[in-house]
Amino acid sequence: MSEPLRIVVAKPGLDGHDRGAKVVARTLRDAGHEVIYTGLRRTAQQIVETVRDEDARFLGLSSLSGAHNHLFPKVCELLVKEGLDDVIVFGGGIIPFEDRDVLFACGMKAIFGPGTPTTEILDFIIKACEVSNAGVGQNGDWHWESSA
């Protein structure tokens, strides 16, 4: 890989638990990527503007509050509305398998639950770069099958 990927890691909504987001940010950093961390309690609009101004290719959303099916689709919608449809979006946190199809339908490409090996996230990043139409608004039918 010639240039490092720029990846925004964000915490949407009212949720103060950022250990997971920090672990993911650290993993991505150690894999040679440039990770922009937004800090806690961001609105969907703030996250989308950060992705836009930082010219990020990937956006990772973390939620442990249970509000993922409200917050994540909102972020995806806004990204598309702002013309950022080629940004690849993934998520993580306490997200039951039965909630995930809704998120994939919004254009998210992976959801990682507790216990996911960090190497799997890196494998996903590599794979997502190869797949065409992996952007949130590009209606591609591929998504990552995560182990947890």
Partner 1 sequence: MNLITEAINGDRRAIARVLSGLENRNFSLEQIKVNFPSIFSNQVRENWSSIAITGAPGVGKSCLIDKILIDWSSKGIKTALLAIDPSSPRTGGALLGDRVRITAIDNEKYKDLIYIRSIATRKSSGSAPLIVSDMVEFLSAIGWHRVIIETVGSGQSEVRCAAITDRIVVVEGPARGDGVQAEKAGLLELADAVIVNKSDISGASQHASEIKESFELGLGQTPPIILTSALTGEGIEQASTALLELEDTGRSKKAKWRERLLAEYERKILESDKLDEILEKLAIGSISIKDALKLLGDD
Contact call for residue 23 and partner 1 (CB under 8 A)? no
Q: Which stretch binds partner 1 (CB under 8 A): 24-32, 94-102, 117-125, 140-148?
A: 24-32
Please pick, from the candidates 17, 49, 94, 99, the single residue that binds partner 1 as defined by CB under 8 A: 49
Q: Which of 17, 46, 66, 113 binds partner 1 (CB under 8 A)?
A: 46
Instruction: Give me the 74-93 binding string for partner 1, x by CB under 8 A, dash otherwise.
Output: --------xxx---------
* Angstrom distance (rounded) from CA 142 to CA 132: 9
Q: If residue 92 lies in a helix (H) or strand (E), which one and from where to where?
A: strand 88-93
Any contact of residue 38 with partner 1 (CB under 8 A)?
Answer: yes
Helix residue spans in the chain (DSSP H): 19-30, 44-54, 68-81, 100-105, 118-130
What angle in degrees, to the nearest 10, is found between the helix axes of 68-81 and 44-54? 40
26 contributes a contact to partner 1 by CB under 8 A: yes
What is the Cα–Cα distance from 134 to 113, expressed in whole angstroms? Answer: 20
Among 34-42, 69-77, 102-110, 119-127, the segment contacting partner 1 (CB under 8 A): 34-42
Q: How far is the CB of 20 from partner 1 (least distance, A)?
A: 15
Contact 44, 73 (CB under 8 A): no
- In what helix (H) or strand (E) does residue 10 lie, and over which residues does it extend? strand 6-10
Planar angle of CA 14, 70, 68, nearest 5 degrees: 65
Per CB under 8 A, does 101 bind partner 1?
Answer: no
Asked if 31 interacts with partner 1 (CB under 8 A), we say: yes
Which residues contact partner 1 (rule: CB under 8 A)?
3-4, 6, 25-26, 28-39, 46, 49-50, 52-55, 82-84
